[in-house]
C-alpha cells in the first residue's frame, strides 16, 4: 500500500479556510459557540481535540449546551449497536435546538457515518443534519464547514479510503495533566466481529520524529501522563520500514528529559513481544500497565474471531510480561455471546479470567455489525442466554478486581494527582503507575503532581488513600 500523506501545505490551506470562516462569523455573531459531543474510544477523543483545534482557529468558543451552540459536531462510534442508538437518539433530539435556533449547523462525523447504510439513514431520516463526514475527511473539516455555510446546502463526505496521515492539524486538548498522543491510525487485523478496519482504514504510522517532537512539546507544556494511541500499537512502524518498532518508540520517548509517565493502548496479543516487555521494564517512565484484550478463553472462538493466538499462548505471554514486571497491571476486553458460543466455550473464558486474574475487565455482549464476517455466522443462542453469561462474568470480574484492590491496602503508591472529583470527602482523583484509580483528600493545588499515598481502602472500582507522612516527592 502506498503511504498517503496530507502535505503541510494542504493543512495550511485548511487553516486559511479557518481564517475565512472567522471573518464570516464575526461579521454576524459577537461570540460564536461550538459544541463537540464525543462517543466511543480514545481515538475519537483525540479526533475531537482536532475538531476543537480547528473550531478554535475559526474563532468559536465552546459550550456544553446545545441550545446556545451555533455549530454542533457529533463525533460518533460504530463499535457496538448501543453506541449507534445513543447517537441517533441524541441527533434526533437536536430537532428542538434547531427549531429554537434555525441557523444552527449540525455536523455528524466519525466511524458510524463511514458505514454506507448509516450515512443513508442520516440523509433520509435526519433532515436537520447539515454535514456528514467520515474519519478520512476530518483533516478538511474547515473546507466542508465553509461550503455548508456559504452554499446553504447539505453535504455528505464519506468516500471510501484506506486513510492518510496528516500532520499539523491544530489541537485543543482537554485538561493539562493527561494527553492523548496518536501514534498510528487504522487497523489491519479484521477480527471477524469488528467494524473498525472497515471505517478507519489500513494501519498507518506517524513518523517517529513527528511523535517524539509532539511528546517533547507536551512535556514542556507540563503534561505528566502521555497515552500513546493506536488500534494496535504493537504493529507501530511496520508500514514505515524505518527499523523503528513500538518498543524503540517507547525508548525514544523515555529519553525525553522530564518527570512524566508513558502509557499506551491498545495492544494486540498476537504482536506483543518479549522486546516490548523488556523495554517496558527498563524504561523508568513507562507505566507497568498493559491493556491486552483477550476477547475469549476458548480456542475455537478465538479462531472464529480471527485473533491469531490460542488460550495457551495468551497465558504464556502474560506469564512472560509478569516475569519482566512483577507489579504489572493487566486489563482486558472480553466479548460474551460471539455467534455460536456454547456454555462450555463460555466456561473457558471464565476459567481463563480466574487463572489470569485481570486487574480490570471491560466486558461486552456481542453486537452484530453490518458487513463483518461474524454477522453472517449462525447465531443460535438467545439474548437471554448471553445476558446470563454476561452477568456471571461481571461477578467474576468484579470479585477479582476487588481482591486485587484489597491487596493494595497498607501499601505506599506513587500516584499522579490528575483532577477533582466534585465531592467533599475524597475530593481528588489520582492514578497509580499501573493506572488504578485512587481517591484522596487534599488541596487542589496538588493536581499535576506525583505524590506518595498510603492506600487505606479499596473496592471493585477504586482505591482510597491519604498522602503519606513525610512525602517529599514534589514531582
| Count of Cβ atoms closer than 10 Å to residue 450 Cβ | 20
CB 208 within 8 A of CB 169: no
CB 206 within 8 A of CB 183: yes
Can residue 206 be called a binding residue for ligand 5AD (CB under 6 A)? no
Task: Work out what residue 40 binds among ligand 5AD, ligand SF4, none; the CB cut-off runs from 5 to 8 Å by kind.
Answer: none
CB 333 → ligand 5AD: shortest distance, Å?
A: 3
Give dist(CA 394, CA 400) in Å, integer.
Answer: 10
Task: Work out what residue 231 binds among ligand 5AD, ligand SF4, none; the CB cut-off runs from 5 to 8 Å by kind.
Answer: ligand SF4
Say what angle helices 42-57 and 8-28 make with each other, to 10 degrees: 60
**Beta bridge pairs of residue 244:** none
CB 397 within 8 A of CB 250: no
The window from 16-24, 27-35, 221-229, 360-368 that contacts ligand 5AD (CB under 6 A) reads 360-368
Can residue 296 be called a binding residue for ligand SF4 (CB under 6 A)? no
Give the one residue of 21, 73, 79, 286 binding ligand 5AD; rule: CB under 6 A.
Answer: 79
Give the one residue of 107, 132, 194, 302 binding ligand SF4; rule: CB under 6 A.
Answer: 194
The window from 97-105, 108-116, 249-257, 362-370 that contacts ligand 5AD (CB under 6 A) reads 362-370
Give dist(CA 236, CA 200) in Å, integer.
Answer: 16
Task: Work out what residue 187 binds among ligand 5AD, ligand SF4, none; the CB cut-off runs from 5 to 8 Å by kind.
Answer: ligand SF4
- Residue 377, SS3? coil
Give dist(CA 338, CA 83) in Å, integer.
Answer: 18
Residue of 51, 31, 42, 185 lying closest to 107 (CA atoms): 51
Task: Work out what residue 142 binds among ligand SF4, ligand 5AD, none; the CB cut-off runs from 5 to 8 Å by kind.
Answer: none
Nearer to ligand SF4 among residue 75 and residue 266 (C-beta):
266
Grid cell 498522602 in the structure block, residue: 467
Task: Work out what residue 369 binds among ligand SF4, ligand 5AD, none; the CB cut-off runs from 5 to 8 Å by kind.
Answer: ligand 5AD
CB-based contacts of 339: which residues, under 8 Å, 6+ apart? Answer: 304, 366, 374, 377, 378, 379
Q: Which x/- pattern over 257-276 shows residues binding ligand SF4 (rule: CB under 6 A)?
A: -----------x--------
Can residue 333 be called a binding residue for ligand 5AD (CB under 6 A)? yes
Pairing of strands 33-38, 71-76: parallel
Pairing of strands 329-336, 225-229: unpaired
Restricting to residues 196-225, name those near ligand SF4 by CB under 6 A: 196-197
Nearer to ligand SF4 among residue 223 and residue 309 (C-beta):
309
Can residue 293 be called a binding residue for ligand 5AD (CB under 6 A)? yes
Residues that bind ligand 5AD (CB under 6 A): 79-80, 193-194, 293, 295, 333, 335, 364, 366-367, 369
Amino acid at each position: 500500500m502506498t503511504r498517503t500523506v496530507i502535505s503541510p501545505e494542504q493543512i495550511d490551506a485548511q487553516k486559511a479556510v479557518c481564517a475565512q470562516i472567522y471573518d464570516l462569523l464575526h461579521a454576524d455573531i459577537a461570540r460564536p459557540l461550538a459544541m463537540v459531543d464525543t462517543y466511543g474510544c480514545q481515538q475519537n477523543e483525540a479526533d475531537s481535540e482536532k475538531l476543537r483545534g480547528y473550531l478554535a482557529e475559526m474563532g468559536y468558543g465552546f459550550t456544553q449546551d446545545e441550545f446556545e451552540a451555533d455549530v454542533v459536531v457529533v463525533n460518533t462510534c460504530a463499535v457496538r449497536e448501543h453506541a449507534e442508538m445513543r447517537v441517533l437518539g441524541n441527533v434526533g433530539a437536536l430537532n428542538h435546538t434547531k427549531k429554537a435556533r434555525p441557523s444552527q449547523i449540525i455536523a455528524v462525523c466519525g466511524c458510524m457515518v463511514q458505514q454506507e447504510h448509516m450515512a443513508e439513514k442520516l440523509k433520509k431520516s435526519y433532515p436537520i443534519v447539515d454535514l456528514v463526514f467520515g474519519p478520512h475527511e476530518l483533516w478538511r473539516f474547515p473546507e466542508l464547514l465553509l461550503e455548508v455555510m456559504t452554499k446553504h446546502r447539505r453535504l455528505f463526505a464519506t468516500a471510501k479510503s484506506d486513510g492518510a496521515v496528516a500532520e499539523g492539524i491544530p489541537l485543543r486538548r482537554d485538561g493539562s495533566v493527561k494527553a492523548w498522543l496518536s501514534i498510528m491510525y487504522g487497523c489491519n487485523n479484521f477480527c471477524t466481529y469488528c467494524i473498525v478496519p472497515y471505517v478507519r482504514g489500513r494501519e498507518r504510522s506517524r513518523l517517529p520524529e513527528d511523535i517524539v517532537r509532539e511528546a517533547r512539546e507536551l512535556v514542556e507544556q507540563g503534561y505528566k501522563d502521555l497515552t500513546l494511541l493506536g488500534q494496535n500499537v504493537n504493529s507501530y512502524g511496520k508500514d514505515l520500514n524505518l527499523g523503528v518498532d513500538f518498543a524503540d518508540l517507547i525508548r525514544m520517548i523515555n529519553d525525553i528529559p522530564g518527570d512524566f509517565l508513558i502509557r499506551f493502548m491498545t495492544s494486540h496479543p498476537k504482536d506483543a513481544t518479549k522486546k516490548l516487555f523488556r523495554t517496558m521494564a527498563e524504561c523508568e517512565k513507562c507505566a507497568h500497565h498493559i491493556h491486552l484484550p483477550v476477547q475469549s478463553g476458548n480456542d475455537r472462538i478465538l479462531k472464529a474471531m480471527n485473533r491469531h493466538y490460542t488460550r495457551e499462548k495468551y497465558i504464556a505471554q502474560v506469564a512472560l510480561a509478569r516475569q519482566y514486571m512483577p507489579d504489572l497491571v493487566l486489563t482486558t476486553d472480553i466479548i460474551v455471546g460471539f455467534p455460536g458460543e456454547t456454555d462450555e466455550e463460555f466456561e473457558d473464558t471464565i476459567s481463563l479470567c480466574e487463572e489470569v486474574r485481570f486487574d480490570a475487565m471491560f466486558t461486552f455482549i456481542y453486537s452484530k455489525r453490518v458487513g463483518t464476517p461474524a454477522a453472517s455466522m449462525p447465531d443460535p443462542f438467545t439474548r437471554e442466554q448471553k445476558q446470563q453469561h454476561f452477568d456471571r462474568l461481571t461477578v467474576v470480574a468484579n470479585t477479582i478486581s476487588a481482591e486485587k484492590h484489597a491487596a493494595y491496602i497498607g501499601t505506599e503508591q506513587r500516584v499522579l494527582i490528575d483532577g477533582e472529583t466534585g465531592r467533599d470527602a475524597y475530593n481528588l482523583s489520582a492514578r497509580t503507575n499501573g493506572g488504578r484509580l485512587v481517591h484522596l483528600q487534599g488541596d487542589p493545588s496538588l493536581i499535576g503532581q506525583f505524590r506518595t499515598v498510603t492506600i487505606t481502602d479499596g473496592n471493585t472500582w477504586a482505591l482510597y488513600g491519604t498522602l503519606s507522612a513525610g512525602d517529599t516527592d514534589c514531582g
